[in-house]
């Protein structure tokens, strides 16, 4: 429990970050890279092993709000407060594609996953999604080496008229379901407080799980059918899917704005304004 390495960028706020995927065979020092997005529209790639910044790019004119590596680590997807999504190469430092489908609404989530077989009748070996603060999710199939990127689904979840300004609304969040590659899970401001399971093949919501409040964070376990949901009410809920059996946990003194399962599924990390908690899942 000690600080190993620290990077500091003066006069800029770090808004988002992502680890570069590493080979499944070993945890090599060469693969330990982090990309971070900043309030001035820049992103920086840091080498953990060499404790230095390797690359600085500015694919956006607005602050970055979401960032992710492609599954092979060869591309970086970044989303801005203005709703633009950029695809950049960390090898060349060049931005190869800018997508304006969510323009005007801050990007809240970017996530990539390997596409199964030749699913959904489109080319590419990767699926990725973008979520914006207007309750919309776009799902794409891509093959970056062939410069192919095809829109697979455009989802818009209904919501009542809310107060002006997205900062006062619960965030729109979506994630691919680890135990069902055809499904994504969405939470956000809506008619009901619930988590929606949307099947990309059937093109419909196939399951709904009620929540006590609007969610502020969400994570699905890669090892078991568990979903962690954080709330503004200082509450963490662990749900078993699909039966919806729930267990609530206190411990935070502010909004639970981050939930993240470890790859093993045995631990869960949650964060609020001034605390980071690590939970151990037993008997799962």
| 219 close to 267: Cβ distance less than 8 angstroms | no
Query: What's the pLDDT score for residue 30?
Result: 53
Query: What's the pLDDT score for residue 37?
Result: 98
Distances (CA, A) of 219 to 45, 134, 224, 230, 240: 25, 20, 12, 9, 12
Query: What's the pLDDT score for residue 209?
Result: 95
Q: What is the DSSP letter of 209?
A: E
Q: Which CATH number fits domain 14-20+32-256: 3.60.20.10, 2.10.109.10, 3.30.1330.200, 2.130.10.10?
A: 2.130.10.10
Q: What is the pLDDT of residues 229-273, one digit of tens each?
A: 999 999 999 999 988 899 999 989 999 999 999 999 999 999 999
Q: Give 209's strand partners.
A: 195
- Is the pTM above the cut of 0.95? no
Q: Mean pLDDT for the chain?
A: 91
CA distance 69 to 65: 14
Band the pLDDT of 38: cuts 50, 70, 90: very high
Q: Exposure string (b/e) for 161-174, b if CB count within 10 Å is 16 or more?
A: eeeeebeebbbbbb
Query: What's the pLDDT score for residue 29?
Result: 46
CA distance 194 to 186: 9
Q: What is the pLDDT of residues 17-28, one digit of tens each?
A: 999 997 544 554
The full set of domain ranges for the chain reads 14-20+32-256
Say if residue 238 is preceded by a cis peptide, omega within 30 of 0: no
SS (H, E, C) 121-147: HCCCCEEEEEEECCCEEEEEEEEHHHC
47 CB neighbour count, 10 Å cutoff: 18
Q: Give 38's strand partners.
A: 14
């Amino acid at each position: 429990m000690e600080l190993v390495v620290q990077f500091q960028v003066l006069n800029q706020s770090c808004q988002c970050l992502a680890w570069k995927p590493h080979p499944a065979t070993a945890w090599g020092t060469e693969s330990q890279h982090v990309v971070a997005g900043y309030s001035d529209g820049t992103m920086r790639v840091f080498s953990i092993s060499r404790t230095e910044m390797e690359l600085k790019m500015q694919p956006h004119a607005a602050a970055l709000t979401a960032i992710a590596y492609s599954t092979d680590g060869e591309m970086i997807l970044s989303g801005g407060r203005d709703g633009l999504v950029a695809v950049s190469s960390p090898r060349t430092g060049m931005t190869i594609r800018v997508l304006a489908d969510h323009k005007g609404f801050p990007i809240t989530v970017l996530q990539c996953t390997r596409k199964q077989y030749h699913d959904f009748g489109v080319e590419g070996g990767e699926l990725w999604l973008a979520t914006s603060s207007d309750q919309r999710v776009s799902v794409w199939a891509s093959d970056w080496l062939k410069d192919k990127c095809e829109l697979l689904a455009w989802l818009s979840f209904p919501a009542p008229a809310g107060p002006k300004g997205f900062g006062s609304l619960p965030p729109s969040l979506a994630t691919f379901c680890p135990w069902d590659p055809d499904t994504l899970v969405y939470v956000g401001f809506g008619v009901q407080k619930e988590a929606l399971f949307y099947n990309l093949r059937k093109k419909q919501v196939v399951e709904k799980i009620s929540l006590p409040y609007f969610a502020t964070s969400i994570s699905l376990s890669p090892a078991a059918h568990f979903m962690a949901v954080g709330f503004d009410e200082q509450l963490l809920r662990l749900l078993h899917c699909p039966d919806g059996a729930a267990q609530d946990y206190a411990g935070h003194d502010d909004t639970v704005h981050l939930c993240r399962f470890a790859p093993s599924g045995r631990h869960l990390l949650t964060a609020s304004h001034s605390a980071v908690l690590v939970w151990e899942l037993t008997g799962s």
